[in-house]
Amino acid sequence: DSLLHVKPKKKGFKFTPIETTNKDELVLPKGFKYDVVAAYGDVINGKGDTFGFNNDFTLYFPIQNSNERGLLWVNHEYTNPLYVEGEKVNGKYAPTQIEKLLYNQGGSIIEVYYDKKVNKWKMDATSTYARRVTGLTSFALTGPAKGTKVVNGATSVQGTFANCSGGKTLWNTVLSCEENFEETANNAGLNQTHYGWVIEVDPFDPNFAVRKHTALGRFNHENASMGLAKDQRVVVYMGDDKKDACVYKFVSKDKYVPALGKANSRLLEEGNLYVADFKKGRWIALTIEAVQKAAAGKPELLEKFQTQGDVVTNCQEAALLLGGTPTDRPEDVEISPFDSSIFIAHTNNDKHGNLHGHITRFIEKKGDHGATEFEYEIFAAGGRQSGFSAPDNLTFDSNANLWTVTDISSSSLNQGAWTSFGNNGMFVIPTVGQDKGIAWQFAAAPMDAELTGPCFTPNEKTLFLSVQHPGEETEDINNPTSTWPHRKGEKMPRPAVVAITGFKF
Ligand code: FEO
Ligand code: CA
Ligand code: CA
Ligand code: CA
């Protein structure tokens, strides 16, 4: 614990851990409750826009510093034809189906508030901020790939989809990550190179052009965690959720100037993109010069990699070419607010028999996020001993607990190697003290669901959480495997965002 520079609160955080379960319910410890704030299909504003499908990352933006009213950015990762667009006809989607497919992915900006009269969190559907960003919204491209041949000369592109996790910038905008974009791009007949980027949105300002920052690379982006180098350059850590894929960081060319506010967004347009070499503990810069040197004598590669735009667009290939270490599906990467170490959830990789995944921790040289050398260790391993399998999103509380949600695939839950884990869950893992590395289960998801995007309000009295894909294994729509959130008069399972209360930190 010698790296600590911020002391965890003394009070501690106590709860009675729950048992594993396969109940069709969001199960919480005694003394906690949840309110459903928005579910698929709910109207979010006066225009009649609706909440998208399979909500994932959530990010709370206080309105006037309030812990009881704010905007909530929510990612929508993918759709399920059974509930959204319907099945293909003759192997193809009709234009109206494609529209549904694209509309129900992307993100939602909703306004949420705590209604003291009934002690419940609710969505304010009269909000003037509430709006959708979807697979149909026009995006500006920034950075090295903008306007180049590899993206067909595009300077703006259609839509965002496959939005998994994300992060908050230092200037109070949201970064949202395009992850498994390939299938939707294919189904909608869209250019593959226009997706797989990190997007930026200002939830408060519809006039802030939504943008895709190509300098941060194109891959199967899970999340984006922003920090500062000691010399004030902006650093963004990123995972690439694919088997045998790498961990990345972007370091801006210029320094962060707080007084410039949202104009700091420009910092994400120019800088160095690095890939992690875990064996040598070094960050390798993905530059066109380095790639061309490594590609010498290989005409096919030299043809492919001619500009920095080609490098960021074909990032996975460039990373492996230069010596990036393939890892076991790096999902969330988060910077500890207590000691500047960085945690990565490697969810699993059945290619190597890593069925339960692990959480890695690495420490940059001298604790500087701008460093090009680091050390690393396995912080916690999934499995029966720890009680969790397939760690995915990560977040911290003020007691230096790492919270992780798990994502055992819905088709594997409660069987085979995953029998004893029950439904997916959420776990609390102390990162300091005598319980360091021990996972305590805080929540369990309804049938087939995964819990995603945990986000505390600043006072930590509320935790927003997505319940994604309940009932995903349903074959007969009249007999779904889950009916959560158990709305009166319907059997349909609906992905939904909940607000959990009952915290006493
Ligand atoms: Fe969409 Fe990597 O989880
Ligand atoms: Ca995820
Ligand atoms: Ca996952
Ligand atoms: Ca998911």
Specify the CATH number for the domain of residue 78.
Answer: 2.120.10.30
Interface predicted TM-score (ipTM) over 0.95 = yes
353 CB contacts (<8 Å, ≥6 apart)?
none
Q: Is residue 417 part of a domain?
A: yes
State how many domains the chain has.
1
Q: Is the CB of 164 under 6 A from ligand 1?
A: yes
Q: What are phi and psi of 488, to 5 degrees?
A: -55, 135
Tokens of 168: 């908050």
- Across all residues in the chain, what is the average pLDDT? 97
**Within-domain flag for 11:** no
The residue whose C-alpha atom lies closest to atom 1 belonging to ligand 1 is: 164
462-468, strands of its sheet edge to edge: 33-39, 496-501, 462-468, 450-456
What b/e readout covers 61-77, taking b as 16+ CB neighbours within 10 angstroms? Answer: beeeeeebebbbbbbbb
Q: How big is the CA angle at 156 (ends 155 and 160), to the nearest 5 degrees?
A: 140
pTM value is: 0.98
- E strand residue ranges, 247-322: 247-255, 271-277, 282-285
Tell me how far CA of residue 373 lies from CA of 279, 324, 441, in angstroms: 11, 13, 34
Q: Is residue 429 part of a domain?
A: yes
At residue 3 the predicted structure's pLDDT band, cuts being 50, 70 and 90, is low
- Tokens standing for residue 373: 């050398």
Q: Which residues pair with 71 in a beta bridge?
A: 61, 111
Beta carbon of 111 within 6 Å of any ligand 1 atom: no
Answer whether residue 8 is part of any domain: no
Tens digits of per-residue pLDDT, 453-484? Answer: 999 999 999 999 999 999 999 999 999 999 99
Tell me, using a 6 A CB cutoff, whether residue 178 lines ligand 1.
no
- pLDDT of 1 above 70: no
Question: 184: CA distance to ligand 1 center in Å?
Answer: 15
Per-residue pLDDT tens digits for 30-55: 999 999 999 999 999 999 999 999 99
Give me the amino acid identity at 505. F
Domain assignment of residue 24, yes or no = no
**Residue 281, domain member (yes or no):** yes
Picking from 51, 97, 99, 98, the residue whose alpha carbon sits closest to that of residue 75 is 51
Let me know if residue 200 belongs to a domain: yes
Residue pair 191/157 in contact by the 8 Å Cβ criterion? yes
Task: State which ligand 1 atom lies nearest to the alpha carbon of 162.
Answer: 1
Cβ of 241 below 6 Å from ligand 1: yes
H/E element, 98: helix 95-103
CA angle centred on 104, ends 269 and 111, rounded to 5°: 75
Q: Would you say residue 22 lies in a domain?
A: no
Domain that holds residue 335: 33-501
Q: Which two tokens stand for residue 67?
A: 């812990």
Atom of ligand 1 nearest to the CA of 239: 2
